[in-house]
């Protein structure tokens, strides 16, 4: 079985005991890691942390990777970073709880069907995601030049939990976000 996004980790345990969930316990395969600030290699472990990542669905089951991630001491005395967290190529990136594989799937869904419709489609595909998360993925995609828009998608989403709402406009032909307006009313101009 070829799973390229798991090439950098050793699977310690595959647990299918919970209904509809496959849990993979994994750790990095490499002995050390490169400091992202200065590039020097370190194998001096400073600490360990468990990180949970949602991965692509297998056989209708949600896959959760419980990854034991290490923090290393940077051994370069000239580097301003005392410690750094390891990242595993094709599997982790800072501040995201999705693997690049499932993030790519969710971004494709979000660009095709932003908002509630996308969240419903993801649900059918056993990918649990909030519509606001899908809209944030749309906002995170690089913007191209905006030409004549023939099919416009509109949805509203919360900027932060319990905070104000914004309306996102998406060009449904180019699958690109066009604008984000404050408030829930798409007819309102951003500045009166």
**For binding to Zn ion (CB under 5 A), which residues are involved?**
35, 37-38, 74, 76, 79, 81
Closer Cβ to Zn ion, 37 or 52, answer by number? 37
Q: Which residues contact 184 (CB under 8 A, 6 or more apart)?
A: 156, 165, 167
Closer Cβ to Zn ion, 47 or 104, answer by number? 47
Closer Cβ to Zn ion, 39 or 104, answer by number? 39
- 111 CB neighbour count, 10 Å cutoff: 21
Alpha helices by DSSP H, 22-161: 100-112, 116-124, 131-140
How near is the Cβ of 88 to Zn ion at its closest, in Å? 18
Q: How far apart are CA 36 and CA 86, in angstroms?
A: 9
How near is the Cβ of 45 to Zn ion at its closest, in Å? 15
Closer Cβ to Zn ion, 87 or 133, answer by number? 87
How near is the Cβ of 56 to Zn ion at its closest, in Å? 33
How near is the Cβ of 42 to Zn ion at its closest, in Å? 8
Tokens 């949602």 belong to 54
How near is the Cβ of 36 to Zn ion at its closest, in Å? 8
Closer Cβ to Zn ion, 80 or 189, answer by number? 80
For the sheet with 165-171, list strands across it.
152-158, 165-171, 176-182
Q: Which residues contact 69 (CB under 8 A, 6 or more apart)?
A: 28, 48, 49, 50, 51, 85, 86, 88, 92
Nearest CA among 170, 166, 159, 162 for reference residue 185:
166
How near is the Cβ of 32 to Zn ion at its closest, in Å? 12
Closer Cβ to Zn ion, 38 or 158, answer by number? 38
């Amino acid at each position: 079985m070829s799973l390229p996004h798991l090439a950098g980790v050793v699977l310690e345990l595959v647990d299918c005991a919970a209904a509809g969930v496959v849990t993979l316990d994994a750790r990095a395969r490499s002995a050390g890691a490169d400091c992202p600030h200065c590039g020097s290699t370190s194998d001096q472990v400073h600490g360990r942390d468990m990180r949970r990542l949602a991965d692509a669905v297998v056989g209708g089951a949600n896959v959760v990777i419980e990854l034991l991630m290490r923090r290393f001491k940077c051994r370069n005395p000239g580097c301003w970073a005392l410690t750094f967290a390891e990242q595993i190529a094709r599997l982790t990136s800072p501040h995201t709880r999705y693997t690049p594989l499932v993030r790519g799937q969710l971004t494709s869904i979000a660009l095709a069907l932003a908002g509630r419709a996308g969240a419903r489609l993801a649900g059918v595909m056993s990918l649990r995601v909030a519509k606001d998360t899908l809209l944030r993925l749309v906002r995170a995609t690089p913007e191209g030049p905006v030409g004549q828009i023939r099919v416009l998608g509109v949805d509203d989403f919360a900027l932060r939990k319990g905070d104000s709402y914004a309306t996102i406009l998406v060009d449904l032909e180019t699958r690109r976000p066009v604008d984000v307006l404050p408030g829930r009313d798409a007819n309102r101009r951003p500045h009166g």
